[in-house]
Amino acid sequence: MRLAGRGSVEERLAAEDLGTAKKILCREPWESYYILRRGILPCCHGSRAIAPLEDWKTAWNSPAMQEIRSHLAKGRLSPYCFDSTGCPLVQRHFQEIQQRVEETQRQERWLATRFPVLRTMNRLLGHVPGKAYGRLFRALRSL
């Protein structure tokens, strides 16, 4: 029996914030590491070794692994991750940045074609106001 207006159990649990809304980007540095001839890697997409092969026992809690884990626990990619360009998470991050850049450029082009004064002002001020175009763009687009 369902109570009116309450929704299913799944819907209610999805709506509740139990502190798990912000999940860790990658769990691999907590679950395993890779022992290869070239050294110890924190994940399968690792670019460089964080420890030599002989230090496999101490690599698990090494400062490099702890730094990677601390960044990932905060929901950010670590500098080590950004060096590992084969990682799908890093590739997705770069794609999202590229999409934001393209959207900003579209907004700037739209405004520049409709408001030549803004284009000139933006050019004279070193393209700094271009970042502020987003709100203005959305407001003018709704007209």
Which of the four pLDDT bands, split at 50, 70 and 90, describes residue 136? low
Which of the four pLDDT bands, split at 50, 70 and 90, describes residue 7? low
Which of the four pLDDT bands, split at 50, 70 and 90, describes residue 3? very low
Question: For the segment 18-71, what is each residue's pLDDT rounded down to a tens digit?
Answer: 444 456 678 889 998 899 999 999 998 988 899 998 988 899 999 999 999 999
Q: What's the confidence (pLDDT) of residue 39?
A: 93
Residue 66 is assigned to a structural domain of this protein: yes
Q: What's the confidence (pLDDT) of residue 1?
A: 40
Question: For the segment 71-80, what is each residue's pLDDT rounded down to a tens digit?
Answer: 988 888 899 9
Residue type, 115: F
Residues 42 and 67 reside in one and the same domain? yes
Residue 137 is assigned to a structural domain of this protein: yes
Domain count, the chain: 2
Does residue 41 sit in helix, strand or coil? strand
Which structural domain, as residue segments, surrounds residue 64?
28-86
Does residue 9 sit in helix, strand or coil? helix
Q: Tell me the average pLDDT across 86-101.
A: 90
Residue 17 is assigned to a structural domain of this protein: no
